[in-house]
């Protein structure tokens, strides 16, 4: 079972494209993150529930009736996305996919999203098989000891960056890339920036720590 969390940093047109590519179906748990609730409706879907303090949801009195909600205080110490993901973990989900929660004008929100999703990938709140975020600017895939590998398959040469998150990452191995690593150690730095796939199938493996795999949207040639 997948949980698909949809936030407000995306238009309905882009959301429709991504949701179709994900083949959203009745087996998926659909969650609106604040203004993302409106995006779900504009894209032709109805979320199973919505979470937020409603600062990015216009016409909330018209939209929220009929949708189960978790209303949050504006004076809270974590993001709407964090609480939405915690709520989704109460279901027996195996994948956590977030749309419309990255990019946009607020880089602090973008960075907070990456940090929080790395925590969910670590297994702190329950074991998941994959944690990812998708935005118009690119894709993000989170690795940890609980999710120790990422696999990609591409028809064209693809730009991929891989960064250590939150400290040292050990036992890092790349296969199918222009620049290879084998049982390497990465620290949070620019090391891992701008690698390229050399084969159709590529993999990143991790033994200990956390990694963030980034696929920029314009990184194809």
The last residue of a domain, from among 138, 165, 200:
138
- Domain with 45, as residue range(s), is 2-138
For the domain that residue 52 is a member of, what is the CATH number? 3.40.50.10240
For the domain that residue 197 is a member of, what is the CATH number? 2.60.120.320
8 within domain boundaries: yes
**Is the domain of 130 the same as that of 156?**
no
Condensed to tens digits (0 to 9), the pLDDT of residues 135-182 reads 999 999 999 999 999 999 998 899 999 999 999 999 999 999 999 999
**Is the domain of 114 the same as that of 170?**
no
212 within domain boundaries: yes
Q: What is the 3-state secondary structure (H, E, C) of the chain?
A: CEEEEECCCCCHHHHHHHHHHHCCCCCCEEEEECCHHHHHHHCCCCCCEEEECCCCCCCHHHHCCCCCEEECCCCCCCCHHHHHHHHHCCCCCCEEEEECCCCCCCHHHHHHHHHHHHHHHCCCCCCCCEEEEEECCEEEEEEECCCCEEEEECCCCEEEEEEECCCCEEEEEEECECCCCCCEEECCCCCCCCEEECCCEEEEECCECEEEEEEECCCEC
**Is the domain of 167 the same as that of 132?**
no
Indicate the number of domains in the chain. Answer: 2
The pTM of this model reads 0.94
**Is the domain of 43 the same as that of 97?**
yes
Condensed to tens digits (0 to 9), the pLDDT of residues 61-97 reads 888 888 999 999 999 999 999 999 999 999 989 999 9
């Amino acid at each position: 079972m997948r949980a698909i969390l949809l936030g407000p940093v995306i238009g309905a047109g882009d959301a429709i494209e991504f949701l179709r590519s994900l083949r959203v179906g009745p087996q998926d748990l659909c969650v609106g993150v604040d203004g993302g609730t409106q995006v779900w409706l504009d894209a032709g879907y109805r979320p199973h529930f919505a979470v937020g303090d409603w600062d990015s949801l216009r016409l909330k009195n018209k939209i929220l009736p009929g949708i189960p909600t978790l209303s949050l205080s504006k004076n809270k110490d974590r993001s709407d996305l964090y609480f939405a993901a915690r709520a989704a973990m109460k279901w027996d989900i195996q994948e956590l996919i977030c749309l419309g929660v990255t990019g946009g004008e607020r880089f602090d929100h973008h960075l907070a999203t990456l940090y929080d999703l790395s925590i969910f990938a670590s297994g702190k709140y329950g074991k998941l098989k994959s944690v990812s975020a998708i935005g118009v600017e690119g894709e993000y895939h989170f690795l940890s000891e609980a999710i120790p590998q990422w696999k990609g398959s591409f028809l064209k040469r693809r730009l991929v960056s891989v960064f250590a998150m939150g400290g040292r990452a050990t036992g890092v191995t790349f296969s199918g890339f222009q620049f290879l690593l084998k049982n390497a150690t990465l620290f949070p730095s620019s090391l891992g920036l701008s690698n390229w796939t050399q084969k159709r199938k590529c993999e990143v493996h991790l033994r200990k720590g956390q990694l963030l795999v980034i696929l920029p949207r314009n990184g194809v040639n």
